[in-house]
Amino acid sequence: STNLAEIIRILKEADGKPVSGEELGERLGVSRAMVWKYISSLKEGGYEIESSPKTGYILKVVPDMLYPEEIKDGLNTTLIGNNIFYFAELESTNSFAKEMAKEAEEGTVVIAESQKKGRGRLGRNWQSPKGGVNLSVILKPNIPLDHAARLTLMTGLAAANTIRSLGLDARIKWPNDVLIKDKKVCGILTEVDAEMEQVDYIIIGIGINANVNVDDFPPGIRENATSLQKELGTEVNRVEFVQKLLYEIEQQYIKFKTQEFSAILSEWINLSDTIGKNVTIMTPSKMVEGKAIGITDTGAISVRTKDGKRVNLIAGRCVYTRTR
């Protein structure tokens, strides 16, 4: 609620000095009893607040949670994150976002501390324990359906840039994985609803292994996964990380809307882990083996096959082929 956010803001501003219940009540226009209720609910949410009847309330510790009040405090965006839906646990932020996307304002964000049924592409699953960053952003660009894949690339770039700002060498594997030293730290699931070949809304789901222990993942997944915490050797401040991520997405989205796509594509290619490698691209209908030589204007991967043909694939699973 905005009153809770206001109390947090005032206590933070006081910077360790006590603020009386009377003052809080006056500034919010509520009774002292109401202030006390707000303080109790903040404490329940993990805020450590010292209260003395003589002097007032002192904020001691802010919990390590992705509360909207925390994310909005210091968020440098104008569109993305104006509305934030927050859940301690959810089946899937993408599923939730999909249900409300039609009515939702563009830029609405859905966040869950953990997901019970985090989804990857093609029915695969996404491990989403507490400590990770699991969020979805609803966008409503006025674009034809066949430009939607560009937004996946755009999001991968934004995620990679955010991770790189921590000093880690994040690279992007086509179409949607962000890797650190060949291990997956982030996945992106883009889901589109279109009418008459025109995009109605698009949901970009981002899962990042932030402060999670990948050794707890099932075998088969953990070998190829890493986390920010593991790579940094220390926990990341997830609130600051999400603020940066939303800012990066907004900056890229502005670019997407105002410039040629090549502006984003060239940045993407700079961080690409895939271009120049021998790959096998698997789609439901075919398998193409060859060398990845580029990304087209729509976001398709260009593969040069053994017989010299150039094949463009807009979607699929990309596996690096070992050269024997």
Write out the residues near ligand BTX by the rule CB under 6 A.
Answer: 92-94, 115, 118-121, 124-128, 134-136, 176, 184, 187-189, 205-207, 209, 221, 225
Q: Which is nearer to ligand BTX, 56 or 156 (CB)?
A: 156
Q: Which is nearer to ligand BTX, 80 or 188 (CB)?
A: 188
Residue with tokens 């999670």: 212
What's the min distance (Å) between Cβ of 85 and ligand BTX?
Answer: 13
Q: What is the DSSP letter of 15?
A: T
Q: Which is nearer to ligand BTX, 62 or 65 (CB)?
A: 65
What's the min distance (Å) between Cβ of 224 and ligand BTX?
Answer: 6
Please, which residues have CB within 8 angstroms of residue 62's CB and are 6 or more apart in sequence? 8, 47, 70
What's the min distance (Å) between Cβ of 209 and ligand BTX?
Answer: 5
What's the min distance (Å) between Cβ of 156 and ligand BTX?
Answer: 11
Q: Are 174 and 121 in contact (CB under 8 A)?
A: no
Q: Which is nearer to ligand BTX, 42 or 134 (CB)?
A: 134
What's the min distance (Å) between Cβ of 189 and ligand BTX?
Answer: 4
Amino acid at site 289? E
User: Can you list the alpha helix ranges (DSSP code H) found in the chain?
Assistant: 2-14, 21-28, 32-44, 68-72, 93-100, 148-164, 228-232, 238-258, 261-270
Q: Which is nearer to ligand BTX, 21 or 205 (CB)?
A: 205
Q: What is the DSSP letter of 105?
A: P
Buried b (16+ CB within 10 A) or exposed e, 10-34: bbeeeeeebbbbebbbeebebeeee
